[in-house]
Homo-oligomer: A and B are copies of this chain.
């Protein structure tokens, strides 16, 4: 199947919002084995929308539209699509009930123009909107398929996942199943080297790597006649992958590293504290972004100055003078001082040179030490990042701290 995406909305052409729907849907369609040939964006203009729609069907059999399903006179996607696919709009009683229910739930009066959203193509398969008032639908006409989704991503994505994806999968002779393994600590090229023969020999399942901010993900996908077959094939390959790089995999369910670590600390009831120099609070901020973390997060110290390292963490002047603030010795003293002071079962500390300035030949920008005291035992790691990108170095240090905790605490059952 070949597809075009049409995003409808004048606000996209004004540069007010980024089109994230196109990237999401493209990725999803690729996983379904559907080729995306074009993205089109048009304003709320019926003639231009009609023109783009006709064009799209010249070399595609599937068109997915997002946006233009609202209650106002401007919103014409549904009307034009229905006309072009030779159908007509009829009042859908269930859609009307759902819209009325929505307004009752949020406690706002329903205006007359909202009724417009309950008129849907007679032949369409209707997709309920769990997060808004505009239903979506799929409509077919002589080998052409149109899928019409609302514009707001928080309405569009669940509708795609719950309704449009199964609809599209049902049009296909085969089923795709995939798993995304997220790794940290292996670069994309090391990952490819470790799995080179598997990647080279791939036909089905396929393996693809994606790099993102120090992390690297591996997607294992299989297309078979049934989901059970596809799943079995993916899981067999997954076992071979885990045999080689299992130590680097932190998630197989799309969870962020911080979430995986937080879940683990909360489940085990491990109280923790952190002391940050170069990351300046980023580690604490990331952990405290997770609801429920207060059960185990005791405190954080952002010890940016040497004086703070001494007063808050008991790092001796001797260490600071002899080894410097960015040293294995200082990181260990920070973690040990923090553990002694807080009594936390896990105390982690970081010190480094984030850049862009401040580096020397012996201690270049990107040099970072992470120390962790867990159940009384101290551990320390040295990291050397290349490049003077402050944000990237800080972000990498935070991920390294999370990864170290996971290794010390144990990834557990999850």
Contact = CB atoms under 8 A, between A and B. Distances in A.
A52 interface: yes
A378 to B, nearest CB: 22
Interface in A139-167: none
Interface stretch (A30-38, A67-75, A249-257, A405-413): A30-38
Contact of A281 (B23, B26, B43, B283): B283
Interface stretch (A190-198, A240-248, A305-313): A305-313
A391 interface: yes
A17 B40 CA distance: 16
Contacts of A276: 281
A361 interface: no
A299 interface: yes
Contacts of A29: 15
Contact of A280 (B17, B25, B279, B287): B287
A13 B41 contact: no
A22 B23 contact: no
Interface stretch (A171-179, A260-268, A288-296): A288-296
B40 A13 contact: no
A36 B10 CA distance: 9
Interface string A176-216: 00000000000000000000000000000000001000000
Contacts of A38: 13, 40-42, 48, 52
A355 B14 CA distance: 34
A105 interface: no
Contacts of A25: 15
A260 B303 CA distance: 23
A283 B300 CA distance: 13
A204 to B, nearest CB: 18
B300 A304 contact: yes
A127 interface: no
Interface in A44-80: 48, 52, 55
A26 B13 contact: yes
Contact of A15 (B24, B41, B307): B24
A111 interface: no
A24 B16 CA distance: 9
Contact of A304 (B16, B294, B391): B294
Given A284-B280, A302-B284, A23 B19 contact: yes
22 contacts: A7-B39, A12-B22, A13-B37, A13-B38, A15-B25, A16-B27, A18-B18, A19-B39, A38-B40, A38-B41, A40-B41, A274-B302, A276-B281, A279-B288, A281-B284, A282-B288, A284-B285, A289-B391, A291-B390, A298-B304, A298-B305, A300-B302
The 6 closest A-B pairs by CB, nearest first: A280-B288, A15-B27, A281-B284, A300-B302, A15-B26, A281-B281
